[in-house]
Amino acid sequence: MGVPSHRPDFHPFDLVPISVTETPTVQAGGRSEAALSRELSDFLLEFSIGVHRHAMYPPGHPSLLPVAENIIARLAEIFSTRRVLAIGVARDQLVIEGVATDQRHPVLRDLARRLHGHQLGAVSFSKGVDVPEVKSLLEVLAKDPERQGRPLGLLPSDQLPFWEHVQLFPLGYDQLETKEGVGTGQEPARASHLWIGLARAALAGAEAAAEAALGDPSVVARSIREHRREAAYDQVIVGYLLQLAEELKAGATEEAEVVRRRLSALIRELDGDTLARLVSMGGSLAQRRKFILDANQSLAVDAVVKILQAAAQASEQTISSSLVRLLGKLSAHAEAGARRVRDQADTALRDHVEELLKDWELRDPNPDQYTLILDAMARAAPLLQGPAAGQPAEELPGAKRLLQMSFEVDVWGPTVAKAVSDLMEAGDVAYLLELVQQAPPGSLAAARVREHLTRPANLRRFLAGPDVDETSLRGIVEPMGTEAIPVLLDALVDSESRSVRRKVFDLLAQMGAPLGPALMARLQDPRWYALRNFLALAQRIPQLPEGFSALPFLDHPDPRVRREAFPLAVAQRGVRDRVLAVGLADPDERMARMALLEVQEHLPETLVPVLVNRILLAPRPSELKVLGVKALATSRSPLVLEVLLQLCSTGRSWLGKPKLAAPSPEVVEGLALLRDRWREHPRVRPLLAEARRSRDPQLVRVAGSGEGP
């Protein structure tokens, strides 16, 4: 197959990462779980990648250059409609815009655990944040608190990092009172850290934010009720509530009991609308269930009932008034009845809450058979209308009508399989995935359609078109797992569509370590564009397979392959100087620039001759020569002085005075280095004097004012 004429324009680093949002899941009654917007999803993914890269690579590594700029670009989209963005932190997930991220997502779970390890309850960004602030934040978060010092959240307030447009919210503070007015004199438990963090966040900026107010739930609740409803504020409060509920369910100490009473009192003091708003910020329906279950095991029963009602309001779920009255009666007995009645009522209420949450719906009062008939009638309704409002059933495509009937009666056969194939050929994969998603548990038809969609041959056929729907592609690939990798790698190099290749690359880049062996087997491909894409993918793998080496690709005739091999090769142990020498000598300007950026902080002595001969004395652009001179500033080699004198002068005049080289960026940079390190040297003083007599203002400024270029 020939190389498509447009393929050289494709570069994987220019691609947009796959969104971490999942397709909203349709629940009973037509409701859908909340999902992050694409802008927020892309930002979280870029933020996760940025922290991960700063943890992996040393400062100055070329892989770190674009990450802060990528994050700023994502924030610019977000700040077009708001001024503040807050991220709540739980143990394994993040809470943003009322949505909790998927605990199974490896990248975001890693970020949540890293922030949680730093004892942070939230991070907020405000409009105006710039690249230096983001870069500094990434460097701070990338440090492992267990190996590189105390967690950020445990630092004294005057030592906590501060930026104008970024704020860190710690979980707790030192010298915390954990008993009612009595200090323990010991390091407080995590539940106490969480409570004091919640109280301080709630009282931030309030007049009542004195230390004594931190232990008064009514003061904290009043501050939450009266706050002016900023999403950033609510997000931080929700992050603490989620973590407190989870922490207290396992806490059995006296200190945890104090925090449990305070949190229960706080819930009682909040009005229904405020509590419903906070619960709705806590994420999807599944996340709210978990929050209620955690609260059910940790808080007072009346607080549990109040949270349950708020969650029902936030999720638009109906709880009958009879059930609410029953739970309220059990709560009253659990709080004020005789001891035996209290214990029985408490147990009964918590058991009822758990039973209710199993399906999050009331038991159907209708007979089972009648309920099945009603359900079947509800599922059959789409046959009476077309894809557009008012379209008669006769106008529905035959394959869709047949497939709907198959799902309604839950049967499968060759005719139905043919209908599925026809819909795939027509590009209606999204429709098939929607049917599978909405099918009841245990549906035979849904299982057969899913199996049909996830066959490698059908995935290959789906990728053969001019474009693919990204959500549909993800819906097919995720159930396939590693089985999809060979097909995706084929499409990455064989597809004629840039759009298809972009989406395939993004999806492959998220597969992590399982992608490694498949890439190793493909590195013998003779096509330059295939090798370039495979090496770019290898940079996204956290740990490369045993035996992998990028060194052979530094000799590839195509510079685009060498550019992708360089970051991998320079990270290999024991060959860094050799790789840098190859990069400096490479005729490709981008390769040379990558190598020069690597030696800005430290130039090994063995590389000084290579840099001089291949950069400074070679016909290279001024930009590269300036980087070369800056790299020489870190070297103590005696060769440096001779090279700079040769660079900045062209011999002597007939009177014996040194002649300055024509002004250029590298000459200016070289004179500045001579001035800073050899100002009093007998060969340098005349050259600087000649520069001060020059008509060029740059040379005069560098030689005479003592300022940098």
Instruction: Provide CB contacts within 8 A for 402, sequence distance 6+.
Output: 415, 416, 419
Instruction: Provide CB contacts within 8 A for 25, sequence distance 6+.
Output: 32, 33, 437
User: In the prediction, which pLDDT does 318 show?
Assistant: 54
Euclidean distance between CA atoms 314 and 317, whole angstroms:
8
- Over range 319-339, report the average pLDDT: 58
Residue spans of alpha helices (H) in 360-443 = 368-380, 398-409, 414-425, 429-438
User: Which residues on neighbouring strands pair with residue 404, listed in sequence order?
Assistant: none
Return the structure tokens found at 319. Answer: 């709880």
CA nearest 462: which of 504, 406, 518, 493? 504
Instruction: Provide CB contacts within 8 A for 449, sequence distance 6+.
Output: 403, 420, 432, 435, 436
Name the least confident of 136-140, 265-269, 444-448, 571-575: 265-269
Calculate the CA 429 to chain-centre distance.
28
Task: With a cut of 70, say whether residue 207 has pLDDT above it.
Answer: no
Task: With a cut of 80, say whether residue 701 has pLDDT above it.
Answer: yes
Return the structure tokens found at 6. Answer: 């447009």
Contact 156, 162 (CB under 8 A): no
CA nearest 85: which of 211, 230, 237, 271? 230
CA nearest 196: which of 133, 107, 259, 125? 259
Euclidean distance between CA atoms 558 and 555, whole angstroms:
9
Question: In sequence order, what E strands does 624-709 have?
Answer: 649-652, 658-660
Residue that has been written with the tokens 């590298």 in this structure: 666
pTM over 0.75: no
Q: Which residue has the higher pLDDT, 518 or 252?
A: 518
Name the least confident of 358-367, 388-397, 539-548, 583-592: 388-397
- Over range 120-143, report the average pLDDT: 88
Return the structure tokens found at 588. Answer: 């490709």
- Over range 645-674, report the average pLDDT: 83
Residue 59: exposure state from Cβ atoms within 10 A (0-12, 13-18, ≥19): exposed
Residue 125: exposure state from Cβ atoms within 10 A (0-12, 13-18, ≥19): buried
The per-residue pLDDT for range 537-584, each reduced to its tens digit, is 888 888 888 888 889 999 999 999 999 999 989 888 889 999 999 999
Buried b (16+ CB within 10 A) or exposed e, 424-434: beeebbebbbe
Question: In sequence order, what E strands does 191-341 have?
Answer: none
Between strands 658-660 and 649-652, the pairing is antiparallel
Euclidean distance between CA atoms 194 and 370, whole angstroms:
50
Residue extents of the structural domains in the chain? 17-23+33-170, 171-314, 605-704
Q: What are the φ and ψ backbone dihedral angles of 526, each rounded to 5 degrees?
A: -75, -10
What band does 211 get if pLDDT is binned at 50, 70 and 90?
A: low
Calculate the CA 511 to chain-centre distance.
15
Instruction: Provide CB contacts within 8 A for 329, sequence distance 6+.
Output: none
Calculate the CA 261 to chain-centre distance.
36
Euclidean distance between CA atoms 312 and 279, whole angstroms:
9
Q: Which of 150-154, 362-366, 652-656 has the highest mean pLDDT?
A: 150-154
CA nearest 141: which of 158, 164, 166? 166
Q: 3-state DSSP call for residue 358?
A: helix
Task: With a cut of 80, say whether residue 77 has pLDDT above it.
Answer: yes
Please, what sign has the CA dihedral across residues 28, 33, 38, 44? negative
Return the structure tokens found at 248. Answer: 């207290």
Task: With a cut of 80, say whether residue 469 has pLDDT above it.
Answer: yes
Euclidean distance between CA atoms 249 and 293, whole angstroms:
9
The per-residue pLDDT for range 305-314, each reduced to its tens digit, is 767 777 666 6
Task: With a cut of 60, say whether residue 208 has pLDDT above it.
Answer: no
Q: Which H helix or E strand runs over 124?
A: strand 120-126
How far does the chain reach from its first CA to its final CA, in angstroms? 53
Euclidean distance between CA atoms 433 and 422, whole angstroms:
14
Provide, rounded to the nearest whole percent, the portion of the chain with pLDDT above 70: 70
Please, what sign has the CA dihedral across residues 155, 161, 162, 166? negative
Question: How many of the other CB atoms lie within 10 Å of CB of 395?
Answer: 10
DSSP label at residue 616: I
User: In the prediction, which pLDDT does 562 show?
Assistant: 92
* Angle at which helices 65-78 and 38-56 cross, to 10°: 160
Count each helix (H run) and each strand (E run) in the chain, helices first: 33, 7
User: In the prediction, which pLDDT does 117 show?
Assistant: 84
Q: What are the φ and ψ backbone dihedral angles of 7, each rounded to 5 degrees?
A: -65, -35
User: Which residues on neighbouring strands pair with residue 658, listed in sequence order?
Assistant: 652
